[in-house]
Amino acid sequence: MYDVIVIGSGPGGYVAAIRAAQLGMKTAIIEKYPTLGGTCLNVGCIPSKALLDSSEHYHNAAHTFKTHGINSKDLKVDLPQMMARKDDVVKQNVDGIQFLMKKNKIDVHQGVGSFVDANTVKVTQADGSSTDIQGKNIIIATGSKPSSLPFIKQDKKRVITSTEALKMKEIPKHLVVIGGGVIGMELGSVYGRMGAKVSVVEFMDSLIPSMDKTMGKELQKSLKKLGFEFYLKHKVTGVENLGKEVLVKAENSNGETIELKGDYVLVSIGRKPYTDGLNAEAAGVKITDRGQVEVNDHLQTSVPHIYAIGDVVKGAMLAHKAEEEGVFVAETIAGQKPHINYLLIPGVVYTWPEVAAVGYTEEQLKEQGRKYKTGKFPFMASGRARASMDTDGLVKVLADAETDEILGVHMIGPRTADMIAEAVVAMEFRASAEDIARMSHAHPTYTEAFKEACLAATDNRALHI
Ligand code: FAD
């Protein structure tokens, strides 16, 4: 009998297993795929960042090296090599998880985990053989998969999801991206930087619509420079595979139809929770109408010793959110009283410029009727950004009008994915904009833009604008 069985080895599951083992519990993890690490390591965060880095190098060599005084003659993309490097990065990461399982003495069971009852999970291997294992506590961490629209047939050849977009055999001539969210903008950037024409069809009136509106607008400006075309407020009405081409039809708010022909269509309209084959009902675990495993504030399902975490439950579908929940549940099972501040889970888009945010958006503050002040600082005015030729974007700080407490930080610019950590720390310790404005930030760094935005938020006293 295990103390903890974890079903699914993504960032939620493997982190939960490590923390449970650290706390002295006999732990098992079940994964249906041959490699550990889930969506994030195999077909998500890691391979996409590997390709984003490679394509960014190419783009810089093709477009900015000359200005730096570097001649890069006969430059061309070797796509098979780029993909091979990406596969190698994935391998290093998934092998690392295997090592961590061994180091922490966690039993790895390969196969599909399905509930037999509330304490028993059957593990069925690819050859059909199966073993039953028992646990006092079980953590469901089965993640998510790409969603689609009912009328779109994803043939995975021309009409593709993020998974296929991460292993293309050629650079698309014209990639039509359905959905202006994080995954579409990141993977659109990969191929846009390497010469593909990219057209984005988005139902809402801005890109990355769940983030502060300023971010969507700024990102759109930057991606336009890369050659992206945008069809915002357009609803996709049909996708047809014509053999070597795909036809996408979309309708705007006036009922007018547009038609786009591309050689590939990336459907990136979000992801849905994944519970296929889990047989949750055998354990009495409730699934919501939206397909999520229902959990309370302690991440307990309808069966108290069965927990669920990550993409398969409510909340942001992010690897670091899943990880926090993994630690939370392991510590809860061990009798500790952990806490997660969901407001302070940062959101990042790894385009260039990068977009990163934490806390409330301006739209949310307006909706709450909360009085706030805004401070902005453009990277155009940053010495470091000028030196690296990364002057697109800005930092926007929202602070309480009376107390000056920082309520939200929204950044678009160079390396903001890393810069946002300072804002998370500031908000966790309930810093005021004045606190940050009075702290020394190394010069020249991109981080000075955060300090300057805080100076701007407190009596408009930014120094370099
Ligand atoms: P998953 O990582 O989905 O893992 C679930 C695992 O459970 C899978 O390995 C699956 O095979 C296994 N499983 C499912 N059912 C069973 C079963 N019955 N038995 C055994 N095993 C089972 N997030 C970020 O924070 N940053 C990023 O940069 C980022 N980039 C992304 C890029 C792309 C292209 C995609 C698609 C996603 C990206 N994400 C990113 C989202 C991130 O991948 C997910 O939020 C994260 O992987 C969720 O972790 P999880 O542990 O909940 O589930």
Q: pLDDT tens digits for 82-112?
A: 999 999 999 999 999 999 999 999 999 999 9
Counting ligand 1 atoms within 8 A of each CB, the residue from 31, 36, 45 with the most, and so the one to mutate, is 45
Nearest to 333 by CA among 301, 293, 310, 306: 306
Question: Can you give the residue ranges of every domain in the chain?
Answer: 2-146+272-334, 159-269, 353-459
Q: Can you tell me which atom of ligand 1 is nearest the CA of 166? A: 34
What is the rounded average pLDDT of the residues 183-204?
98
**How far away, in angstroms, is 356 Cα from ligand 1 center?**
20
Task: Find the largest Cα–Cα distance for the chain.
Answer: 69
DSSP 265: E
Counting ligand 1 atoms within 8 A of each CB, the residue from 6, 39, 46 with the most, and so the one to mutate, is 39
Query: Is any atom of ligand 1 closer than 6 Å to the C-beta of 123?
Result: no
Backbone angles phi, psi at 312, to 5 degrees: -80, -10
Nearest to 97 by CA among 22, 35, 45, 187: 35
Which residue has tokens 């493997």? 14
Interface confidence (ipTM) of the complex: 0.99
Element (H, E) at 364: helix 362-368
What is the rounded average pLDDT of the residues 317-339?
98
Q: Is 343 left (phi over 0), alpha (psi -120 to 50) or beta?
A: alpha
Percent of the chain with pLDDT over 90: 99
- Whole-number pLDDT of residue 123: 98
Under the banding of pLDDT at 50, 70 and 90, the label for residue 72 is: confident
d(CA 57, CA 355) in angstroms, rounded, equals 19
Domain 2-146+272-334 matches domain 353-459 at the CATH topology level? no
**How far away, in angstroms, is 47 Cα from ligand 1 center?**
12
Query: Which of 3.40.140.10, 3.50.50.60, 3.40.50.2300, 3.40.50.720 is the CATH number of 159-269?
Result: 3.50.50.60
- Whole-number pLDDT of residue 112: 98
Query: Is any atom of ligand 1 closer than 6 Å to the C-beta of 409?
Result: no
Query: Is any atom of ligand 1 closer than 6 Å to the C-beta of 32?
Result: yes
- Whole-number pLDDT of residue 147: 93
The residue whose CA is least distant from atom 14 of ligand 1 is 142
The architecture that CATH gives domain 2-146+272-334 is 3-Layer(bba) Sandwich (3.50)
184 is known to lie in a ligand binding site:
yes
* pLDDT one-digit tens code per residue, 138-158: 999 999 999 989 999 999 999
Query: Is any atom of ligand 1 closer than 6 Å to the C-beta of 333?
Result: no
d(CA 453, CA 212) in angstroms, rounded, equals 16
Question: For residue 102, how many other CB atoms are within 10 A of its CB?
Answer: 10
**How far away, in angstroms, is 106 Cα from ligand 1 center?**
20
Query: Is any atom of ligand 1 closer than 6 Å to the C-beta of 164?
Result: no
Query: Is any atom of ligand 1 closer than 6 Å to the C-beta of 320?
Result: yes
* pLDDT one-digit tens code per residue, 361-397: 999 999 999 999 999 999 999 999 999 999 999 999 9
pTM, full prediction: 0.97
> 308 with 299: CB under 8 angstroms?
yes
256 is known to lie in a ligand binding site:
no
Q: In the predicted model, what is the mean pLDDT of the chain?
A: 97
The residue whose CA is least distant from atom 43 of ligand 1 is 40
Beta strand ranges found along 43-129 (DSSP E): 107-110, 112-117, 120-124
**How far away, in angstroms, is 10 Cα from ligand 1 center?**
5
Query: Which of 3.30.390.30, 3.40.50.620, 3.90.79.10, 3.40.50.300 is the CATH number of 353-459?
Result: 3.30.390.30
